[in-house]
Structure 1
Amino acid sequence: MKKYNDTTYAILGILTTECKTGYAIKQLIDNSLNHFWKISYGQIYPTLKLIVQEGLAEVRTSSTPGKPDKNEYYLTTKGLEELKKWLEQPVEQLPIERNEILLKLFFGRNQAKEKTVLLLQNYQQELENRLQTYEAIEKGILSHNHTVEDSFYWLLTLDYGKRTTKAAIDWCECTLEKFLTKGD
């Protein structure tokens, strides 16, 4: 089995949805995948070009009167098989989190206590905002996509995001409490 990078597999997966143009792919990434998997705009078109060259997808030009032509990408049988093979492979490594708040806290003795408290409070607020975003996404999926076969899986990944965000908020609360009750 030829090995592609994860961005290639992500785009193959996206092509199993209704997203068929580069713009639609970018929208799906921005509104969903970006919460747990970063793909830059600059990676989309080179990846689409690669998967067409590899025979994993085909491109068709569609025309709409009064609008510029647009390229639409469709997964081939070979592309779907490649995606399925990748999906069936075990995860090679657990994700490694790069967390700036933990890095700053690790070296926190080098700044004023008030600055660390403010840093933690701001981080907690950002997490609470993220949780609200996830809850809004969940409402959108439940109200608009309940008949879409993918929505079950989307809700599972969203649940992971909600749970880890809630755990991080809980960590902030406990850490702030410990920090504020700690003697100097």
Structure 2
Amino acid sequence: MEHYTHTTYAILGILTTECKSGYAIKQLIDRSLNHFWKISYGQIYPTLKIIVKDGLAEVHISSQKGKPDRNEYFLTSKGIETLKNWLEGPIDQIPIERNEILLKLFFGRYQSKESTVFLLEDYKQKLDARYQTYESIEQAISKYQDNGEDSLYWLFTLDYGKRVTKAAIDWCTFTLEKISDQEE
């Protein structure tokens, strides 16, 4: 069996939704996957080309009145089977986080305490904003149950993001308190 990149599997998964064009795929990525999986616009079309070449999807041309024709992609049975096999396999490795705030804090003794506090407060503020975004997404998914069975799984991934973000907010609060205690 051919081994594809995670981007290929992500796009195969997206093709199980109502998103069938490159543009629609990019919109879905920006609205949802981008919170936990980055795919650049420049990766979408080359990946779609591979998917079609390997018989995992077929491309149909869709005519739109007053607009250029658009390519729409539909999974084949081989594409569905390939996605299913990947989904049911074990993960390759536990994700390794690259976190700039942790890197800066690791070497924190070489910066002023004021700078450290500023960095942590700024990070916490950004996490709060992210958490609010997740809350809005959750409301939107819950409001529109048109997504059927998918929405349950979307909410699972969203819950993970919310929990991780909440833990990071709590960590910021704890760390800021410890730094404050040091100054006394």
Could you say which TM-score interval applies, normalised by the shorter chain?
A: over 0.9
Further displaced range: 138-147 or 61-70? 138-147
Equivalent position of 1:102 in the other structure: 102
What SS does structure 2 have at the residue aligned with 1:37? Answer: coil
Equivalent position of 1:40 in the other structure: 40
**What are the Cα deviations for residues 153-178 of structure 1, in whole angstroms up to 9, with x where unaligned?**
00000000000000000000000000
1:18-167 to structure 2, matched below 5 A, reads 18-145=18-145, 148-167=148-167
TM-score, reference length from structure 1: 0.98
Q: Percent identity?
A: 70
Runs of 4+ in 1 over 3 A off after TM superposition: none
Name the CA distance, whole Å, in 1 between partners of 2:177 and 2:40: 38
Equivalent position of 1:16 in the other structure: 16
Q: Which runs of 5+ in 2 are unaligned?
A: none
Q: Which runs of 5+ in 1 are unaligned?
A: none
Equivalent position of 1:171 in the other structure: 171
Q: 1:89 to 1:99 in 2, by over 3 A?
A: same
Give the partner amino acid of 1:27: Q
Name the CA distance, whole Å, in 2 between partners of 1:28 and 1:169: 27
What SS does structure 1 have at the residue aligned with 2:68? Answer: coil
What SS does structure 2 have at the residue aligned with 1:4? Answer: coil
Name the CA distance, whole Å, in 2 between partners of 1:67 and 1:98: 42
Name the CA distance, whole Å, in 1 between partners of 2:138 and 2:115: 35
Name the CA distance, whole Å, in 1 between partners of 2:145 and 2:29: 17
- Over the aligned positions, Cα root-mean-square deviation in angstroms equals 1.0
Task: Note the C-alpha offset of 1:147.
Answer: 5.0
Name the CA distance, whole Å, in 2 between partners of 1:91 and 1:154: 19
Task: Note the C-alpha offset of 1:2.
Answer: 1.0
Give the partner amino acid of 1:9: Y
